[in-house]
């Protein structure tokens, strides 16, 4: 949540800050602001609303050092006063995170004569740094950070001095030629440099145009490694699509191809993860897995439960990350954490809790160098490329791709899957990117149904076995970008309560691809139709029976029934997208949501 940018160089800072903030707006868009060092003073310009609104209101500003922020409100209403940067004297601070003891610090600083004008916790930090400032900004930041409890990623400006620090919230340093950068995320500054340094918790960076010095929390200088980011800059632009979400849905064939590349051989029936530091004997000894995740990643983990149990015979518990620390149950011999950003605060906290039990840990994530990747024993990258839309699409598909491969690999090592079965599954998986492309070619047909569904106030997504997690994901997508109340259910649960809510005004999306529960799924559809609800089915292209029982059908290419959830995912994504478009919603930036959830 929230986006931070900082610049120290020889070019004019304001255009760079505004441009970079535009690439961070998916992290928060309640308000925005910049601070520039100009004529021996720090000038601050901020307001509620979007980056474009701020840009229109800016005067001509001269200055080559500055910071910027785009906000997702946590403390205080989204207005001009609460917008960042916050100031104290000639010090300006942009902050992402939550200062848990801000009220106590506020009272203490008020007694010392500091005047607060906002409702935010961040203003405490600005005054604290001012209190400790004695002509060196780093020397002031170090003790100030020791006074606070909570999470933070900060950019601090005082005169021409620029300092960054982090704890539990992501921050990268970009290394350029005669200029250096601070950013919450790589795409913000990828236009200017591919050389990135990832700050670790409790680390501090001091930037000038010519150098960056790194310190630990006691101001002992440390060395850091430069990472070269090979993302295609065009991948972070819309490339002619109306929304990032639509672009990223269309990028899914390529994303899944990249997920599989170099990892599978369907001819030999083998799967290889170079980054997986688990021996065959260790995998054979795994009897229980805990999957920990939030939101869309949690739905990927729920499908993973079915896959690991089906392919490998391993019992799997799927835990909501924010609840894991409170269930008082020990994790299994392997803990898998799934996080698109690798920075999800609840998932990170649950990971640290799980590690205290001494079990092996593995992360599935998209972002190289993110905090979670540095704290686990094993990392498998999804290789999706940058995803800008708040609603996860291609990262979810790639997470599923990794989970399928991992479950198959474990199953083969445990002797649960034969070589012939493995080869057949890998052949089917290799065909999925092309099959997704076929679905995307039929998107206008899906758009017609979305127009019908766009007038609903409530809707249900139903599925069984492997399709149940996709029903949950479809409901999540629809509610988060179209604001239609949607629920996902295991179809067999309808008669245990939810059926009471079904009326002729409650559209139902039934994921009814072929499989062992197909006949039961048809019966569930009949139950819904008996209550006059309109039903749209997602079904196999060879299924000629389903049309008898529903109002509409979206056909997906034939594949193994256990693999078909990947294809059904694309349909529910497109249905949600076009429904939201029909309702004129802000699709890439749904209200109250942000891309990377870095506060608990």
Question: pTM to 2 decimals?
Answer: 0.70
Angle, in degrees to the nearest 10, between helices 419-440 and 564-582: 20
Give CA–CA dist 94/154, Å, rounded.
6
Residues 315-330: what's their mean pLDDT? 84
Give CA–CA dist 272/399, Å, rounded.
16
12-27 pLDDT per residue, tens: 999 999 998 888 876 6
The conformational region for residue 316 under phi > 0 = left, psi -120 to 50 = alpha, else beta, is beta
pLDDT of residue 256: 92
Is residue 559 exposed (0-12), middle (13-18) or buried (19+ Cβ within 10 Å)?
buried
Residues 360-375: what's their mean pLDDT? 88
pLDDT of residue 85: 93
pLDDT of residue 277: 87
Residues 84-108: what's their mean pLDDT? 90
Task: Please list the active-site residues.
Answer: 2, 595
Is residue 134 exposed (0-12), middle (13-18) or buried (19+ Cβ within 10 Å)?
exposed
Residues whose CB is less than 8 angstroms from the CB of residue 445 and which lie 6 or more positions away in sequence, other chains included: 554
143-173 pLDDT per residue, tens: 999 999 887 899 999 999 999 999 877 799 9
Give CA–CA dist 490/517, Å, rounded.
11
pLDDT of residue 74: 63
Nearest to 575 by CA among 429, 405, 409, 448: 448
Residue 237 has pLDDT above 70, yes or no: no
Q: Which tokens is 557 given?
A: 């290419």
Residues 358-368: what's their mean pLDDT? 89
Residues 393-405: what's their mean pLDDT? 96
Give CA–CA dist 278/380, Å, rounded.
12
Q: Verify cis geometry, omega within 30 degrees of 0, for the bond prior to 180.
A: no
Residue 261 has pLDDT above 60, yes or no: yes
pLDDT of residue 538: 95
Which residues sit opposite 227 in a β-bridge? Answer: 196
Q: Which tokens is 474 given?
A: 């479809």
Q: Which tokens is 275 given?
A: 């980054």
Residue 1 has pLDDT above 60, yes or no: no
287-300 pLDDT per residue, tens: 999 999 999 999 99
Third-level CATH fold of 236-430? Rossmann fold (3.40.50)
pLDDT of residue 594: 58
- CATH number of the domain located at residue range(s) 442-591 in this protein: 3.40.50.10490
pLDDT of residue 86: 94
**Every domain range in the chain assigned CATH 3.60.20.10:** 3-230
Nearest to 286 by CA among 348, 331, 320: 331
State the pLDDT confidence band at 315, using cuts at 50, 70 and 90: very high
The CATH class for the domain spanning 3-230 reads alpha beta
Per-residue b/e over 332-364, b at no fewer than 16 CB within 10 Å? Answer: bbbbbbbbbbbbbbbbbbbbebbbeeebbbbbb
Residue 444 has pLDDT above 70, yes or no: yes
**Every domain range in the chain assigned CATH 3.40.50.10490:** 236-430, 442-591
200-229 pLDDT per residue, tens: 889 999 999 999 999 999 999 999 999 888
Residues 120-149: what's their mean pLDDT? 94
Q: Say how many residues make up the chain.
A: 600
Residue 598 has pLDDT above 60, yes or no: no
Give CA–CA dist 297/550, Å, rounded.
30
581-592 pLDDT per residue, tens: 999 999 888 887
> Could you tell me which residue, 474 or 56, shows the higher pLDDT?
474
Residues whose CB is less than 8 angstroms from the CB of residue 219 and which lie 6 or more positions away in sequence, other chains included: 138, 139, 142, 204
Residues 177-185: what's their mean pLDDT? 94
Q: Which tokens is 220 given?
A: 């002992």
State the pLDDT confidence band at 498, using cuts at 50, 70 and 90: confident
Task: Please state, rounded to an integer, the average pLDDT across all residues of the chain.
Answer: 89
Residues 507-534: what's their mean pLDDT? 90
pLDDT of residue 280: 93
């Amino acid at each position: 949540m929230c986006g931070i940018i900082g610049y120290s160089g020889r070019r004019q800072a304001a255009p760079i800050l505004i441009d970079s903030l535009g690439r961070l707006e998916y992290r928060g868009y309640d308000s925005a602001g910049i601070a520039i060092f100009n004529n021996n003073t720090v000038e601050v310009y901020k307001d509620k609303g979007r980056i474009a609104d701020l840009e229109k209101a800016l005067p001509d500003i001269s200055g080559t050092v500055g910071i910027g922020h785009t906000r997702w409100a946590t403390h205080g209403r989204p207005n001009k006063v609460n917008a960042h940067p916050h100031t104290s004297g000639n010090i300006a601070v942009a902050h992402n995170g939550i200062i848990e003891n801000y009220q106590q610090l506020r009272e203490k600083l008020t007694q010392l004569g500091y005047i607060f004008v906002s409702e935010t916790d961040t203003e405490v930090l600005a005054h604290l740094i001012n209190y400790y400032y004695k002509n060196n900004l780093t020397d002031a930041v170090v003790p100030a950070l020791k006074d606070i409890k909570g999470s933070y990623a900060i950019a601090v400006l005082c005169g021409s001095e620029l300092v960054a620090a982090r704890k539990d919230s992501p921050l990268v340093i970009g290394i350029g030629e005669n200029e250096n950068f601070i950013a919450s995320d790589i795409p913000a500054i990828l236009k200017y440099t591919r050389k990135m340094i990832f700050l670790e918790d409790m680390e501090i960076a001091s930037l000038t145009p010519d150098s960056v010095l790194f310190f630990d929390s006691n101001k002992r200088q440390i060395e850091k490694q430069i990472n070269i980011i090979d993302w295609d800059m065009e991948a972070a632009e819309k490339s002619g699509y109306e929304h990032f979400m639509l672009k990223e849905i269309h990028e899914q064939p390529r994303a899944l191809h990249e997920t599989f590349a170099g990892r599978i051989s369907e001819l030999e029936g083998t799967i290889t993860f170079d980054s997986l530091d688990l021996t065959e004997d260790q995998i054979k000894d795994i009897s229980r897995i805990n999957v920990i995740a939030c939101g869309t990643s949690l739905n990927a983990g729920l499908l993973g439960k079915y896959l690991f149990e089906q392919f490998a015979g391993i019992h799997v518990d799927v835990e909501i990350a924010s609840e894991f620390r409170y269930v008082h149950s020990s994790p299994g011999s392997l803990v898998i954490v799934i996080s698109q950003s690798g920075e999800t605060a609840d998932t990170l906290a649950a990971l640290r809790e799980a590690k205290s039990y001494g079990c092996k840990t593995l992360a599935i994530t998209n972002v190289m160098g993110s905090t979670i990747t540095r704290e686990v024993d094993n990392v498998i990258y999804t290789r999706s490329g940058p995803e800008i839309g708040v609603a996860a699409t291609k990262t979810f598909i790639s997470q599923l791709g990794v989970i399928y491969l991992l479950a198959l690999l474990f199953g083969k090592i445990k002797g649960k899957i034969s070589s012939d079965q493995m080869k057949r599954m890998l052949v089917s998986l290799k065909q999925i990117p092309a099959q997704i492309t076929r679905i995307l070619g039929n998107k206008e047909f899906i758009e017609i149904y979305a127009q019908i569904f766009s007038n609903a106030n409530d809707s249900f997504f139903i599925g069984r076995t492997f399709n149940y997690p996709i029903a949950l994901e479809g409901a999540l997508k629809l509610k988060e970008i179209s604001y239609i109340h949607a629920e996902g259910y295991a179809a067999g649960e309808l008669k245990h309560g939810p059926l009471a809510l079904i009326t002729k005004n409650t559209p139902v999306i039934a994921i009814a691809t072929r499989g062992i529960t197909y006949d039961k799924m048809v019966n569930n559809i009949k139950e819904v139709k008996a209550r006059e609800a309109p039903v749209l089915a997602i079904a196999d292209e060879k299924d000629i029976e389903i049309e008898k029982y529903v109002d509409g059908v979206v056909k997906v290419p034939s594949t193994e029934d256990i693999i078909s959830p990947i294809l059904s995912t694309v349909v529910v994504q497109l249905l949600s997208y076009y429904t939201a478009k029909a309702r004129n919603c802000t699709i890439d930036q749904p209200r109250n949501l942000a891309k990377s959830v870095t506060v608990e």
